[in-house]
Amino acid sequence: MGAYIVGGSIVKVDRHFEYGYRDLAYKVLSSCEVCGDPDYIVVASALPELMAHQVDLGVHIVQWAGRRVPVVRVESGESSGVAAVEVATSLVRSGTARKVVVLGVEKVTEYPTYIANRMYSLILDYEFEVLRGISPPVYAALAMKELMRSGFSRECFSSWAVRMHENATRVPHAMLRFRISVESFKDAQVLAEPVTLYDSFALGDGASAIAISSEPADYEVAVEVKYSSSEVGLPAYARDRVSGLEASTKLFRQLEEKFGVDLRKVAVELHDSYTPYPIALLHSLGYIDTRCELGELEYVNLSGGLKARGHPIGATGIYQVYEVFKLLTGGFDGVSVNSEVGVVHSMSGPDNLSRVLLLRRWK
């Protein structure tokens, strides 16, 4: 039995001080036309225990919405959203449910940014990394330095961010809808040399929902979840190179070998939490060399990516899936692709765990 995305909804990634977890979830569920009467709801969220002192978030969202639907929450760090899609797809494919709503929701503005940073850093190993002073920007910096030693220029990474901001200017739900220049990096706040704030994702609140059904004929449009896979990588400190994204590379090689996926021809949303990671991945896959020319990759991160659309940690994967769904079924607000195939890539940490989804337009 197949699993098909038949619609969804999102809220703008932003600082939603007026909304909590339940409010954002209710807001996106209410605006999702195809999300009514599901057999199951799968909630993706990474930080509610830390941000809102809330365990079993899924139940409280469903009760708040006045529903009586079975619910489970999926937490897999930054890749929670795509993990939730994997779970929902399994429920549909197995015949357990005919329709599942996958709801991603995250609040990251309940505390000052430095506290949010502390909570986000817990995607790393608390005892062996966080306590020792290692944070996600540290690994990004070490990865960038490795790549620069291999011949990449500093401007290569800046160019990625510039392109993401340019893409985000056309995306209504993006958090950072303004342009930046390579020159602006000179004055950017340094997180861990040589990584700056401009190399980092935009941290914002968000909520996103999609409906996955076994009955695509009942809906106006449908995109099949053709394939999903995930890989666990080595801890970054145990690798020969921090920038060696073996788990992600292996997943994309699988997509090439099994389905002939060419990233120059499909809509693809890459996990670009820090600029060295998409550069390292595209280089390892052979799409770019040290000149860092991204021209042929015209459908990569049309959303603006985590960099500019924003990164509501556990909800981000559902944004990515919704965006590719929209691109394959007509586009959004003037942004479109000439392709019936799309790929979503999600990582948690520096390739500690990576997931991919292959989506194909059904009708």
Partner 1 sequence: MKLSVPQFWRVKESLYRLVLTRCLNCGRVSVFKRPACPYCGSPSIAHEESQGIGVVESFTKVYYKQDSSEDRLPEVVAVVRLSEGVRIVGEVVGVKVDEVSEGMVVEAVLRRYTSDDPYGVIYYGLKFKPLKQGNTQ
Contacting positions for partner 1 (CB under 8 A): 113-115, 117-118, 121, 127-129, 131-135, 137-138, 141-142, 145-146, 189-195, 234-238, 242
Q: What is the crossing angle of helices 57-64 and 21-30, to 10°? A: 50
Q: How far is the CB of 244 from partner 1 (least distance, A)?
A: 12
Residues 6+ positions from 72 with CB-CB distance below 8 Å: 40, 41, 42, 43, 58, 87
Q: How far is the CB of 232 from partner 1 (least distance, A)?
A: 10
How far apart CA 116 and CA 109 sit, in angstroms, is 7
- The tokens describing 97, both together, are 């449910």
Nearest of 232, 226, 277 to residue 255 by alpha carbon: 226
Q: How far is the CB of 60 from partner 1 (least distance, A)?
A: 25
Residue among 94 and 115 whose Cβ is closer to partner 1: 115
How far apart CA 154 and CA 195 sit, in angstroms, is 10
Residue among 195 and 344 whose Cβ is closer to partner 1: 195
Contact by Cβ (8 Å): 201, 319: no
How far apart CA 256 and CA 259 sit, in angstroms, is 6
Q: How far is the CB of 191 from partner 1 (least distance, A)?
A: 5
Alpha carbon 160 to its chain centroid, in Å, reads: 16
Residue 241 one-letter amino acid: R
Residue among 55 and 115 whose Cβ is closer to partner 1: 115
Residue among 138 and 270 whose Cβ is closer to partner 1: 138
Q: How far is the CB of 17 from partner 1 (least distance, A)?
A: 21
Residue among 135 and 208 whose Cβ is closer to partner 1: 135
How far apart CA 165 and CA 176 sit, in angstroms, is 7
Residue among 108 and 207 whose Cβ is closer to partner 1: 108
Residue among 70 and 194 whose Cβ is closer to partner 1: 194
Q: How far is the CB of 242 from partner 1 (least distance, A)?
A: 8
**String of DSSP letters for 327-347:** HHTT-BTTB--S-SEEEEEEE
How far apart CA 198 and CA 86 sit, in angstroms, is 31
Q: How far is the CB of 228 from partner 1 (least distance, A)?
A: 23
**String of DSSP letters for 45-102:** -S-HHHHH--SSHHHHHHHHTT----EEEE-BTBTHHHHHHHHHHHHHHTTS-SEEEE
Q: How far is the CB of 320 from partner 1 (least distance, A)?
A: 25
Residue among 247 and 255 whose Cβ is closer to partner 1: 247
